[in-house]
Amino acid sequence: MLKTRLLNCLLLLAFCSNSILGTAQGLSSEKIDSLANKTLEMFPLAGFAVSVVHNGEVVHAKGYGVRSIKTQEPVDKNTLFAIASNSKSFTAAAMAILVDEGKLSWKDKVVDHIPEFTMYNSYVRDNFTVEDLLCHRSGLGLGAGDLMIFPDGSDFTVDDILESFQHQKPVSAFRTKYDYDNLLYIVAGEIVQRISGMSWSEFVENRIMKPLQMKASAGSFKRIQNANNIALPHSSEYGDLEIVDAYTNPLMDAAGGIYSSVNDLSKWLMMHLNKGKYGEDQELFSVKNQNYMWKAHTMLNFSARGGGKYKNHYKAYGLGWVIEDHNGYTIISHTGGLPGMLSKTVLIPELNVGIAVLTNTLPGGYAYHMIPQAIIDSYIEAEPTDWNAFAKKRLSGTQHEVDSVVNAVWKTVDFAKDKTIENSDYIGMYKDNWFGKMEVYEKDGELWIRSLRSPKLTGPMYYYKANSFAVKWAYRDMNCDAFAIFALDEEGKAQGLKMKGISPNIDFSFDFQDLDLKRVD
């Protein structure tokens, strides 16, 4: 009987160990190669890199395609990509380090560190905490104020951002709803700077990248030390694959500025899987604070019964990470996107698995999402899915919808091209409280519009219908053309101006709909 009980205990222990560590081995390196090469064949995609870590080892780290369609130089495991919003997890980690050192508390009020911080009302301003900066529950809308940082080239400063929140309108009650935000991560970076005396980029490089031996990575495009192996951004939004300008605004760093490689990110992922430890039992941050970053701070959705392919029960945002369940496993992840760059990092703590996929093409067949999803499926023993076929179908459907809407707008513009417009009724200077001035002026007999603070936002205005125009921006790196809708007085003279994107697929950071421009001259 004792032997039977002992055997049963050993079997139970083995079962529990397998449940904790996972028995699935994931896709082999050869199968990842096959998946990657098929992706390159199916989509207009310049290049990408993939790394997978498992049980403390790098089991795959390779590049595919090219860094630039002009030079045809190949991507390898050390090629640097913009990781965009995957930088947010580094900002959370930077704050965790300061919390561990007793220099900061997650519950600290932001105004205690930045007295000039503003919000849309005094209660929210006075009660806004450090953790509120990191979990997208401010009450502001999706991407609120992002026109201050997209496209790059504007002259907005941290001070402008701190002052701007009082002019932005909430779309929900404070701490009740998830709406993704970039500007508040810039505020978090400012707190890191004020406490440490280093810029956010310097802090991340010295306190995170250097200890982890992420030797090629940098906190900002302008801080890259060796520019010999950088992936250039590409876009296929207008048909043919073409190179676009790299996003270089350092104001964005704490929200999305890091450049890294899959080789370096492997070290970052293994540190997280090792509960904040690296090297010879050194600790970057405590388990307590890792757990706090991976806690569900803001719910996106919840289902008691679960559903879908993965029997999902919940999806939430922690601090710099998205948290959800797939087939009973917790998946910790984040994505990132900048002009011509898309990326994803993934952790499956229970299986000791980490994945990074960095791409230099938008949309690139959604390779940044589809490739890691195929790898995740192999580890959690999900029903296999042809993710490339799924992406092809989805892209085709989305593109058809977008084309039908956008083409209809420009067809209407073409029909109205002979309509006589009194340009003088619209010419003038208009001002929004957070975005500043935009000028409507005449150029070669046509109406044009330009932002005084964001020079790339300039372009001709074409009459659409009623009191509205369609703006075709000179900036073409992303599809962000917009409607300009004028408010007229009783004489038909414009007194105000509102805007909204034309394409249903416009990136949320082009928040034209949040502008409220009033004539000032």
Q: For residues 190 and 170, give the distance between their C-alpha atoms in angstroms, rounded to a whole number.
A: 23
| Residue 177 confidence (pLDDT) | 98
β 468-471/458-465 pair status: antiparallel
Look at the domain 415-519 and name its fold.
Answer: Lipocalin (2.40.128)
- Domains 19-86+214-385 and 415-519 agree in fold: no
Q: For residues 246 and 233, give the distance between their C-alpha atoms in angstroms, rounded to a whole number.
A: 6
Q: How many CA atoms lie within 13 A of 42 on its CB side?
A: 22
| Residue 365 confidence (pLDDT) | 87
**Which amino acid would we find at residue 485?**
I
Counting as low any pLDDT under 50, the low residues of the chain are: 1-23
| Residue 24 confidence (pLDDT) | 58
Q: pLDDT (tens digit, 9 = 90+) per residue, 40-52?
A: 999 999 999 999 9
Q: pLDDT (tens digit, 9 = 90+) per residue, 434-462?
A: 999 999 999 999 999 999 999 999 999 99
Q: For residues 306 and 386, give the distance between their C-alpha atoms in angstroms, rounded to a whole number.
A: 23
Give helix 29-42 / helix 367-380 axis angle, nearest 10°.
Answer: 150
| Residue 257 confidence (pLDDT) | 98
Alpha-carbon torsion, ordered 146, 148, 149, 154, to 10 deg: 160
Q: What's the Rg (C-alpha) of the chain?
A: 25
User: What ranges do the domains of the chain cover?
Assistant: 19-86+214-385, 415-519
CB burial readout 153-181, b (16+ within 10 A) else e: bbebebebbbebbeebebeeebbebbbeb
* Cα→Cα distances 446→427, 431, 470, Å: 11, 21, 13
In DSSP notation, 457-481 reads -EEEEEEEETTEEEE--S--SS---
| Residue 16 confidence (pLDDT) | 36
Look at the domain 19-86+214-385 and name its fold.
Answer: Beta-lactamase (3.40.710)
